[in-house]
Structure 1
Amino acid sequence: MAGMVFFTDNYADRSSDDGYQFEFYCRRCGNGYSSSFQHSVTGFGGRLLRLGGDMIGGQIGERASQLGWDSEFMRDTVRGSTRDKALAKAVQEMQPYFKQCHNCGQWVCDQICWNTERGLCVSCAPKLDQAMAQMQAQAQIEQLNTKIQAQDWTKDINYRDQATGMCPSCGQESGAGKFCQSCGHPLAAAQSAKKFCRNCGTDLNGARFCGECGTPAG
């Protein structure tokens, strides 16, 4: 148990040949933090030795360069244990910023996505003040929608004259009005506005009395 390395899965490894760094993020909102960069002594020292060997040349340079390659090889062979220690240190550094929900198992940020009162993430136990604010906003939208739907918003709109469509005669867009703006053909709105005798059905053509039976237009 003494050698156990604490593990978390809400991180991305941003390590390089120069050292180790990890990015921890919230699995709910996506916010994240980067751990402090931990320099790799073997990686940096190995590059210095190789660089020095290339500059010096000769037997001494070859020896220095070989030491650099040996250092790189040693760094690679111990990378597993070294990386585990670096990760454990990074986890300890980032621990105050994250909590693991014991209900869903997700790692979430302490600042936004953790409900301290309930000891769970806000997905499993929403914060009451936030939940009430959301419900109030939804209720206001629903009530406004009901009130707006109850109002007559078309009483001042002449929907007959403003109706647009295709002229049945020329096939062009008719535009607003009773007659087609392209050919002058009466439109459906104008045709529907015609009055007929309620007795015999004759087209009154605007007359006050029917020309066939004399019935008042009414």
Structure 2
Amino acid sequence: MNGRSVWPVFGFTDNYQDRSTREGYQFEFFCERCGNGHSSSFKHSVTGFGGKLLRMGGDLVGGEWGRKASELGYDSMWMRDGNRGPAWDKALQNAVEEVRPHFSQCHRCGEWVCGQICWNGERGVCVNCAPKLDQEIAGIQARAQVEQLNDKIRQVDWTQGTTYGQPAVGRCPSCANDTGGGKYCQHCGTPLAAASEANRFCGQCGTKVTPGGMFCTGCGTSTA
């Protein structure tokens, strides 16, 4: 389960998940910036282990004593799950101390961050407050390369061979494939100028224009 600690001793990070089971305690703590997690080592609980032995012994012995031992074992399990008191608190405190070396608190913004990614050791603060210069330089260089590539690519004429002075035909009327945007279909070679002419419509009234016609037959608007 997710937890947010209320004890001052656990203040180094309140962003954790309880990974404990019936057999013992384990917690995973997360960086407040990138979310990377570090888990504490698994610690067996006395109640969990003892309760398991009691249940096992009761099952093996049988009889009245065995029944009582099993009941005690299940009672310890109930106490382990339902009464998260001093034992659980102590386990969480020990886990915090174990995982603490993986985190540092930024005294500028107050966040606890992981030392592997989000801590700038040279500056003594997190990378949000003082980014690592080598990473920033790499990012700026990459963005500059993209901008320069955009400028160089725009200087090249990419319209050669493309017919853009007349209505374009997206799908060939002969083979039904994409035409490629040229004067002839890239798949079957059908001339597309005639197809464009055959599918012209008046921009004024929407009437289909007669192939070769100079004026719309519906409203008289010039179609030249």
RMSD of equivalent CA atoms = 3.8
Change beyond 3 A, Cα 1:107–1:4: closer
1:133 aligns with 138
Whether the 8 Å contact between 1:13 and 1:23 is mirrored in structure 2 is: yes
Whether the 8 Å contact between 2:183 and 2:191 is mirrored in structure 1 is: no
Larger of the two Rg values belongs to structure: 1
How far 1:33 sits from its partner (Å)? 1.8
Identity over aligned pairs, percent: 57
Query: TM-score, structure 1 length as denominator?
Result: 0.69
How far 1:181 sits from its partner (Å)? 4.2
| Number of residues of Structure 1 aligned to a counterpart in Structure 2 | 186
Whether the 8 Å contact between 1:118 and 1:125 is mirrored in structure 2 is: yes
1:36 aligns with 41
2:183 aligned with 1:177, yes or no?
Answer: yes
2:10 aligns with 6
Whether the 8 Å contact between 1:101 and 1:119 is mirrored in structure 2 is: yes
2:31 aligned with 1:26, yes or no?
Answer: yes
2:163 aligns with 159
Unaligned 5+ runs, structure 1:
192-218
How far 1:53 sits from its partner (Å)? 1.4
Moved more, 46-55 or 69-78: 69-78
1:156-212 CA-to-partner distances (Å, cap 9, x unmatched) read x25269953479x99x88945379949994645xx9xxxxxxxxxxxxxxxxxxxxx
> Match of 1:143, as an amino acid?
Q
Change beyond 3 A, Cα 1:99–1:123: same
1:55 aligns with 60
Unaligned 5+ runs, structure 2:
1-6, 201-224
Moved more, 114-123 or 71-80: 71-80
Query: TM-score, structure 2 length as denominator?
Result: 0.67
1:42-95 CA-to-partner distances (Å, cap 9, x unmatched) read 111112212321331223213322432453455457632111111111111111
* 3-state SS in 2 of match to 1:5: helix
* 3-state SS in 2 of match to 1:17: coil
* 3-state SS in 2 of match to 1:85: helix
1:147 aligns with 152
1:53-202 residue pairs with structure 2 within 5 A?
53-72=58-77, 74-75=79-80, 79-155=84-160, 157-159=161-163, 163-165=168-170, 175=179, 176-177=182-183, 181=190, 185=194, 187-188=196-197
